């Protein structure tokens, strides 16, 4: 099969077509770009989420938003100096700049020199930018799109660097890192500063800095119905879409990764559910407008999650659906309670065995962390959930896409290629204009004889003809003839 025919077939696949009422009228390039990152969301997480959301009363296993939008896969390895397993900083740098770097780097190369980011390039051509995340807004992933630093751990430096980002929307957690002096600088630059997510509905336009938690937003499973990330995503789209030239938005389901580090399958599914809800918000925005590209991926895989363990051909999603609180919150509530067994069994949704109660009784005196781990072990054992690590792994991750140019993301690619493709879809910087050369005219001296005037007139007419010839040549060669912008260069 020829490469041209293969390209035509790939571009004809359903998920490469913008979901508009008339796909034939969809633009070749998007006006707006939304990149969404499920931090730590390796392939096992999206599979687990499918079974977690499955309706047990139906014969079929229902599709999720991830099944609908799947386009390809991406490798995630960092620069050679850091081996094969990336951290969030190096992976986010790859997604933000199109370059590999060392683990811990925030949009700088291996020599610690700044790398141009997608957001910077978008800003330079007049697009608005913004972020909506469930971690602190100066955490590794958003930081790589908005700043440059040799270490992701320099949270205060990164927070100060956001002043120069000119991002219109900054939504998430992180109150700890923004002192009063820094907040005053943001306010002086026109930002509305909020700490109550309910007040977000009052913001109708302009720049906004919303810091809704001391560090990260609360766990989804412990706050059913709050829907914070999808709320932030909705408001970000509302504000950014007011910019006529378009926008680039980053949305991150940050805490999927944090649950993965904790080897906490129950909390991870809660975070996956809210991230999926945020994707559906953007999916509807894409459908309704037809001018927006959405690309969803993960920066890496966390925890080495497996669905099935201990040699058993089973994974018990139904048990997970019955649990109503995170192991962290369960342990904090029962560690000092006399009636702890009944409380715990209510939250778990199942009756504990004598051996399980014995393990928890031994764990309680050792502190909340040890008790939470003992609860997670019971959940893993009963659900046949496995973990290989408390850190990251080197697995490839999935890529999901919808909207104009979504066909670019079909198949296998590197994470740096995702950034490069997104950058290629930005409007092109307008070339500097060359002012047209004015024709020189020799004015006749006064007074003068009739003969002299005639010579001057002839000379002026000749130079005018010469100028017209130059203008014709300029037009033929594409040189600008007026200061008006050439819209076709976008």
Active site residues: 88
Alpha carbon dihedral 71, 77, 79, 83, in 10-degree steps, equals -170
Residue keyed to tokens 């409380």: 343
Instruction: Return the structure tokens found at 388.
Output: 């290989």
Residue keyed to tokens 């006529």: 244
Using CA atoms, how far apart are residues 190 and 192, in angstroms rounded to an integer?
A: 7
The neighbour count for residue 349, using CB atoms within 10 Å, is 13
Are the beta carbons of 288 and 21 closer than 8 angstroms?
no
Using CA atoms, how far apart are residues 138 and 462, in angstroms rounded to an integer?
A: 67
The C-alpha angle 177, 183, 189, rounded to 5 degrees, equals 135
Closest CA to 308 of 316, 319, 300: 316
Using CA atoms, how far apart are residues 474 and 33, in angstroms rounded to an integer?
A: 36
DSSP string, 226-278: --HHHHHHHHHHHHHTT-TT-EEEEEEETHHHHHHHTT-HHHHHHHHHHHHHH
Using CA atoms, how far apart are residues 77 and 62, in angstroms rounded to an integer?
A: 32
Query: HEC profile for 146-210?
Result: HCCECCCCCHHHHHHHHHHCCCCEEEEECHHHCCHHHHHHHHHCCEEEECCHHHHHHCCCCEEEE
- Give 72's strand partners: 399, 411
């Amino acid at each position: 099969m020829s490469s041209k025919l293969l390209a035509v077939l790939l571009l004809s696949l359903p998920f490469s077509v913008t979901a508009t009422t008339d796909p034939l009228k969809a633009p070749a390039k998007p006006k707006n770009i939304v990149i969404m990152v499920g931090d730590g969301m390796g392939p096992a997480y999206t599979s687990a989420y499918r079974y977690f959301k499955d309706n047990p009363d139906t014969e079929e296993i229902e599709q999720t938003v991830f099944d609908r939008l799947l386009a390809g896969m991406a490798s995630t390895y960092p620069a050679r100096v850091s081996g094969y397993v990336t951290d969030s900083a190096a992976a986010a740098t790859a997604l933000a700049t199109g370059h590999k770097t060392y683990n811990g780097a925030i949009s700088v190369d291996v020599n610690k020199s700044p790398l141009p980011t997608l957001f910077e390039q978008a800003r330079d051509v007049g697009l608005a930018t913004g972020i909506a995340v469930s971690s602190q807004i100066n955490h590794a992933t958003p930081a790589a799109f908005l700043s440059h630093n040799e270490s992701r751990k320099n949270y205060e430096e990164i927070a100060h660097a956001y002043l120069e980002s000119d991002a219109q929307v900054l939504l998430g957690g992180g109150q700890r890192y923004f002192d009063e002096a820094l907040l005053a600088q943001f306010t002086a630059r026109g930002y509305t500063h909020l700490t109550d997510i309910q007040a977000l509905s009052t913001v109708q336009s302009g720049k906004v800095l919303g810091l809704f938690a001391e560090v990260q937003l609360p766990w989804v499973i412990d706050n059913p119905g709050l829907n914070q990330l999808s709320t932030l995503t909705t408001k970000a789209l509302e504000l950014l879409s007011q910019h006529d030239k378009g926008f680039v938005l980053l949305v991150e389901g940050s805490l999927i990764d944090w649950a993965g580090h904790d080897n906490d399958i129950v909390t991870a599914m809660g975070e996956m559910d809210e991230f999926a809800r945020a994707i559906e918000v953007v999916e509807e925005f894409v459908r309704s407008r037809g001018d927006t590209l959405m690309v969803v991926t993960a920066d890496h895989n966390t925890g080495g999650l497996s669905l099935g363990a201990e040699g058993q051909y089973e994974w018990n999603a139904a048990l997970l659906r019955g649990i109503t609180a995170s192991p962290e919150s369960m342990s904090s509530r029962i560690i000092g309670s006399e009636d702890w067994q009944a409380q715990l069994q209510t939250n778990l949704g199942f009756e504990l065995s004598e051996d399980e109660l014995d393990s928890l009784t031994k764990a309680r005196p050792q502190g909340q962390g040890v008790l939470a781990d003992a609860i997670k072990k019971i959940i893993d054992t009963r659900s046949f959930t496995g973990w290989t690590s408390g850190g990251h792994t080197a697995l490839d991750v999935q890529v999901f896409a919808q909207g104009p140019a979504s066909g670019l993301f079909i198949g296998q690619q590197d994470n740096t290629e995702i950034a490069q493709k997104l950058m290629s879809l930005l409007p092109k910087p307008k070339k500097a204009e060359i002012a047209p050369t004015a024709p020189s005219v020799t004015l006749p001296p006064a007074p003068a004889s009739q003969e002299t005037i005639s010579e001057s007139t002839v000379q002026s007419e000749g130079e005018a003809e010469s100028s017209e010839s130059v203008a014709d040549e300029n037009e033929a060669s594409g040189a600008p003839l007026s200061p008006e912008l050439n819209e076709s260069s976008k």
